[in-house]
Structure 1
Amino acid sequence: MISPTVVASFSLIAGNYQNADSLFEVHKETAEIANHPITARLLEQLNGVEIQGAILIAVGDNIIYHRFGGDLSLMDKEPIDRNTRFAIGSVSKQFTAAALLQQLYRQGGMQNVKIALKQPISTYLLPSHSIWGEHYPNWADHVTLHHLLTHSSGLKDFTSDPAFENQKFNQTPHSPTEYLAIVRDQELSFEPGSDTLYSNTNYLLLAEILHSLCDSDLSSYLNGLCNEIGMSNTWAPLSGSLDELRSLDDQLAGVVDSGGRPTLDNFSCARGCGSLISTPQDLLKWNLALHKYKTIVPDEIYQIMTTSYINEEGYGIGVESTSRGTTILGHQGYLNGFESCLLYEPDSEMSIIVLSNSYKHHEQILEVVFRELDAPCS
């Protein structure tokens, strides 16, 4: 067990540390924080890692570590600060899942949620729906909402298809119908519910299902949901290139290092599966509202959402066990050169949030985080 003295000593050291590239904020520890078995060790390891983005660690409502630094973009050498916003990529999936479950609950309570999860897509997106374009697929009568939420539908990922990766296609805005058409007529990879295949197509469809339920597009719904819990620095664009979005949001970072991956995708491709823009502070508010206070969905729905189904898939959230005997809930994300990671450990109420506009720096930080989370207590 880490002693309170060790945590207090590190807080004093890190609290006095500043340089041109990085800023630390380490807040006064509480008994709850001091008793966490890996807090001091993790903070000490992170202290030695170069940063290009932002890291925030909290135990419950208490922020114990907030560090940010590096360049706003490759061309713009302005420094990243506490107000810098980042695209969070697939971390957005848990927002889509929670929004859908919330709307189903509002319309008919817990019984409605349980029934809806077993219903096929066609219950909500009828054969006449515009999403299907020229051809209604047979799989829409067999793939359920639960299959979509857990990536167990067997649907191919439209963002991995050569037709999407054609640069002339993915750099311009398209409708959900056009994105779905890329994989709509392809055979399923397996019988729905028998395996998992991570596919952005699942969450593209979930966004359309939510739209059909409440006559509000996902972007508007998420903006309202985030406002309800005080996430004033979070928004969900419907479309636009990164340059176009930065012209609208002067706090949005650009890209420093994409690791050789594409950075010019139009954000319209990320509807439902990865379009949110946020800050570490706002994502902490999300973690607390979802996991601790249960203000987004009631506990009974939360338990469904965070159950480990096939291959440790929850609803927009991975559910993994550590060698310490604890469970980690969370997701990583990538979009247009941005990297993200949002984690929550229920036993300790610890949140770990890492946002970056550099592939190399993000991978180095996550290596430290996951090594320490999975390490036996000493």
Structure 2
Amino acid sequence: MNSHHALQWLPSYLVPFVSLSYPTPPPVNPDSFHHSAYYKTGMLDGCLIITCIAVMAVLRDIIRIFVLEPFARWKLTRTWERSNSHHIQQNGKKNDLINGNGHAGHANGDSKPKGVMSARDARKIHRSVLRFAEQGWSAIYYIFQWSFGFYVHRNLPTQALNPTELWSNYPHIPLAGPLKLYYLTQTAFYIHQVLILNAEARRKDHVQMMTHHVLTIFLIVMSYFCNFTRIGCLIMVLMDWNDIFLPVAKMFRYIGLYTLCDITFTWFLISWFVARHVLFVIVIKSAWFDGPRLISVGWVPELGHYYSEGTYDTFVYLLVALQVIQIIWFWMICRIAWRVISGQGASDDRSDDESEEEKKSQ
């Protein structure tokens, strides 16, 4: 469908903000998306990215404030009330035995009314509610976006274990509508994440996260305009797969479901290693050796050929840099895994420390 024809009622300057730009006739014999509309790339694509960032910001706040935070507050308050009720019953039985008169006294002379939440507990619950909601948005996004990316990947003639099709018949232009939309929404998400990182309280790994997001944005944009979209799509699908499980594990932890947290975290650890240190390394190896071997045409920008020694080396070196960051993170993840194995439970080294927040608030 040509969305420009469907949006004739909009002023022309608003159309790029709500639809894919640069529609073009489909290729004669496409190897994928046979019934899709096709598009070229250009600077107007940034308009739709801006819209996606705004939509993500609104959706994040709506879901966080009206769905995730109320649920987490209800769950944690309910857990606290049950724990407190059990504590009162235990104290009551002890006092009955001590007094011998059937009336529970105040242990240790504590005159504070039972059933009233302390300021410390209220701060702890409030912090967990906020963290649960933040991680909930990430989990929701990655679930939907990975599903969309997997659909796009399944319709492309590419395979993670045999990635030579990433380079055959380069350049792969024009772009099918779903692939282009996937790229633009992913770019919008990582720009949105950069804005969030700088708006919220800084975590221990702020520098690493910023480096990762900026590097990812640069790789997405570079692969988009240099027509390396098939390798870009495969990499994003690999990355998003295990990004589903870490926020879910954190969500379980913040609402006190520690066993589910440890199980989910263990699965996250396995999926991370397979996706980011096995399959991603295979992709990097293919980029290093298969790309120069299979791409036969050099730098001809007017025909969509952006392969040159300089641009391609830059692209590969950035992929290697991304892997280095992920190796550092994997080491941190293994430290958390050791805590799980040793029975201490999963905790996130990369998050801010609860005790530090409490000291600041006192």
- How high is the TM-score relative to the length of structure 1? 0.25
Higher-Rg structure is 2
Query: Which has the higher relative contact order, 1 or 2, with Cα contacts under 8 A spaced 6 or more apart?
Result: 1
More strand by share: 1
